[in-house]
Each structure stands twice: as structure tokens, then as C-alpha cells.
Amino acid sequence: MSTSEYREGSLEAPTRHPINWKDPEFYNEEKLFAEMERVFDICHGCRRCVSLCNSFPTLFDLVDESDTMEVDGVDKKDYASVVDHCYLCDLCYLTKCPYVPPHEWNLDFPHLMLQAKAVQHKNGESKLRDRILTSTDKVGNLAGIPVVADVVNAVNKNKLARNILDKSLGVHPDAIVPEYHSNTLRKRVKKYKPVNNTAEACEKTTGKVVMFATCYCNRNKPDIGEDLIRLLQHNGIEVKLVEQEQCCGMPKMELGDLEAVERSKEFNIPQLAKVVEEGWDIIAPIPSCVLMFKQELPLLFPEDEQVKKVQEAFFDPFEYLMLRHKAGKLSTDFKNSLGNVSYHVPCHQRVQKIGMKTKEVLELVPDTNIDVIERCSGHDGTYAVKSEYHDISMKICRPVVNKIKQAQVDHYISDCPMAGDQIENGLKDGSHAESPFTLLCHAYGLN
């Protein structure tokens, strides 16, 4: 009898297999459905993930309402409803599932859902709305034109227009959609003069940073990017934006459009690999974009040496600052305390396996208390704005909202600005989510 038969699940650290998405067998629907039935049967017998995304309640309801009350009683046509609720956060894989590799059952639910999404997309089943929402560069380039930006922002705030958008495109009228700025981060960064680089190389860091601005931070939240630049310069770290960039590819990956992910990779990776070769580190202000370069692209393109080079040089911003602090290279000349802060940890940061670096850095500020919330906000970039999923997304977010309501806090924050919007939407009390970059700037007296 093998050792695995004596235990419920694996006691070893999870590992992941590369995604062999270019193999024609990856798109074999018969094999896909057989694997989904195998995995769904294991999930049905376990049910530990029921409190995560809505994929699992959907699956379990399908099973419980079937004639057999087992997975074999579920019509395979209904498998798509399970897939549609998965937004590839990876939390089930990393925090709940006892059967992930190296366990012999080799269960990787998110990668299976990604395969199913890729098959759906290849079969032409992606909705027009979803193709538009995930085309962040094209939408941003159009909506970021000065006059157009004003019109788009006005429409997004108009109740009648939002109801029309709901009926015509399927964007929920109550969902917070981001504003577009014609005065982008790339334009604003020109006003920041280069600092006298006093940062020394230490703890895996060179003290020179190239920022992958991200399409979201460039056009939707440029103020966040500015705050991050101020933080780095305050610590003597030379910072510049990557010369050219496209969307990291995460939205298209969640759609299952892996060819589009490859096109973004072919544009971005040479730009980033070049700056690594020149001695720069790389950061991005949005956790999903960091995860894309640190985990997803290396799993999608495991043989690409440039992808590996970029992966090794890519950091979460607070991971970077904490590495500097451990080497005694982070400024702690704080001017202001932050009081009580509710900190929502985004899923795409949790699965980076770096620990709570944002919390650790903010706790360096005197008279500051950080209350951590490790629950999904339910946003996922596009999921929360879709008409058919918005109410479900708000239900997923409710535990986060309730915890903030029950706490006496001076600020509530999330590393993910979209998650912050989702929480703000749930609170509906006139308060606003803040960026941890903004809070740290306040602690330093920079804003």
C-alpha cells in the first residue's frame, strides 16, 4: 500500500506543471470532458472550496440536483457554467486543495478551467462583450483620447446610459467602471526629474527599477503610479518606465485567448529582458500583472529563456521595498502615523507566495495597526462588471465588506485598485478605498 493511501491529501508543497497549450490534444473535447468529470468527482467528494468563487457552489448544486446525485448525473453541457464562474485566482489550488501535484491525483482545477476556456474560445464561443472588455489596450487607446475620455466618463456615470449599456452589452449598471485619463502616467512621469541614485545593490535587488506601468495604471489610475514613483525616489532608487509595453495578457488569458497572450508576450518580453540585461529590476503596481510575469507566462512558455530572465527580475513593489529594508536600505523617516488600517490582500498577490509584504512595510510606520482581510473581493477585473455575475461578485465580497464595517478604521486599502472599487461599492457609505502606495507616501509626508 502506498504512503498516499494513508493520508487524505499531500503534505508536500504544491507544484505546478507547464501548460502544454500548443499540443493539439489540449483542445480535444472528449479528453477534456473526461478530465473534468474526474476532477469534478474529486471536488464533489471533498467540497473544501465551497467558500471561494462561485464555480464550486455551481458544481455542487449541479451534482445535488442531478438524478444520481453524483457527477455522472450532470449533463456535460452544464460543465460550461462551472467554467464561466472561474476567474483563475488560483486560491483553490494554493490554499484549499489537498490533491494538487505532487499528490498522485494531480488535481489542478484552475489549469483545467483555463483549458476549458481555451477550448471555448477556439470554438468561437467567446462573447463580443468579453472580447471588448479584455481588449484593454484598444479600449484604453480610444477612451483615452482627451474629448473621448470626457464623454466615456460622463456616460459611465449616467444612469440612463448605464441601463442601455446593461441591455445592449451586458455591463451591469451598478458596477463601478474605471475612469479614463487622457493625462496618462506616461505623460505625467516626464515631470519627475531623475534622482541621484544613492541606492546600493542588496538582497537580490540592484536599486534601479523599471516600472511596467500596466494598461490600467497608465490610463485608469495614473495617480497610483505617481505615488509609487515618489516612494522609490524618496528611497534613492532610480526609476523609469519600460520604453514600450502592451497589456500583460492576463485579461486575454482569463478569456482563454492564449494566442493573444502570446502576442503580448512577444511584444513585452524582449523589452523587459533588455532592461534586465542592462542591470535593472522590474516591478508593476498591479498584482495581476506581477503574477503574469512571475508565474503565468513561465508556465505557458516554459522553454523561453527570456521569459525566465524576466521572471527572476520581477518583483511586487512591497516585496521589493521589504527586501531593501532587510538590508537596512529603506528609509524609515516617517512623518505621519496611519492609525487603524483594514488591508484586503488580493488573490493574485496571495498566490505569489511572498507573504504579506505590504502589511510588513506599512507596520514599520509608528502608531499603525494593520487588520488583514484574506478573502476574495469577487472582482477579477471583468467578472464583477458583467450583468449576469455582478450580484454574485458582490455576494463574494460581502465578508470583506462586513469586516470593514465592523472595524473602527481610518483607512481601508487593497493592493488591487479594482478590488478596492469593489469593496467601496459594497460599503456604499461615501468612503473610498485607498492605495497602499498613497498611504505610505502620506507616512513619509510626500503628499
Query: Are residues 312 and 201 part of one domain?
Result: yes
Task: Evaluate whether residue 336 is within a structural domain.
Answer: yes
Task: Report whether pLDDT(349) > 50.
Answer: yes
In whole angstroms, give the CA distance from residue 443 to residue 364.
10
CA Rg value for the chain: 22
Query: Are residues 427 and 408 part of one domain?
Result: yes
How large is the average pLDDT for residues 380-384? Answer: 86
Structural domain tally of the chain?
4
Task: Report whether pLDDT(111) > 90.
Answer: yes
For the stretch 9-53, pLDDT in tens is 566 778 889 999 999 999 999 999 999 999 999 999 999 998 889
Task: Report whether pLDDT(141) > 80.
Answer: no
Task: Evaluate whether residue 216 is within a structural domain.
Answer: yes
Task: Report whether pLDDT(222) > 70.
Answer: yes
- Residue 144: predicted pLDDT: 66
More confident call, 129 vs 239: 239
Whose CA is closest to 441, among 285, 241, 260, 275? 285
Q: Which of 302, 323, 344 is a domain's end point?
A: 323
Average pLDDT, the chain: 90
pTM (2 decimals)?
0.91
- Residue 154: predicted pLDDT: 87
Query: Are residues 348 and 278 part of one domain?
Result: no
In whole angstroms, give the CA distance from residue 127 to residue 129.
5
How large is the average pLDDT for residues 64-77? Answer: 91
- Residue 6: predicted pLDDT: 45
- Residue 37: predicted pLDDT: 95
Task: Evaluate whether residue 175 is within a structural domain.
Answer: no
Query: Are residues 434 and 389 part of one domain?
Result: yes
Per-residue confidence band for 138, with pLDDT thresholds at 50, 70 and 90 = confident
Query: Are residues 65 and 9 part of one domain?
Result: yes
Question: What does the DSSP 8-state code read for residue 193?
Answer: P
85-102 exposure pattern, b = at least 16 Cβ within 10 A, e = fewer: bbbbbbbbbbbbbbbbbe
| Residues 314, 316, 317, 323, CA torsion sign | negative
Q: Which of 279, 297, 323 is a domain's end point?
A: 323
Residue 394 makes CB contacts below 8 A (sequence gap 6+) with 378, 384, 422, 425, 426
For the stretch 148-207, pLDDT in tens is 787 888 888 888 988 998 888 888 999 988 888 889 999 998 888 777 666 777 778 898
Say how many residues make up the chain: 447
Domain of residue 45, residue span: 3-122
In whole angstroms, give the CA distance from residue 410 to residue 25.
53
For the stretch 386-414, pLDDT in tens is 999 999 999 999 999 999 999 889 999 99
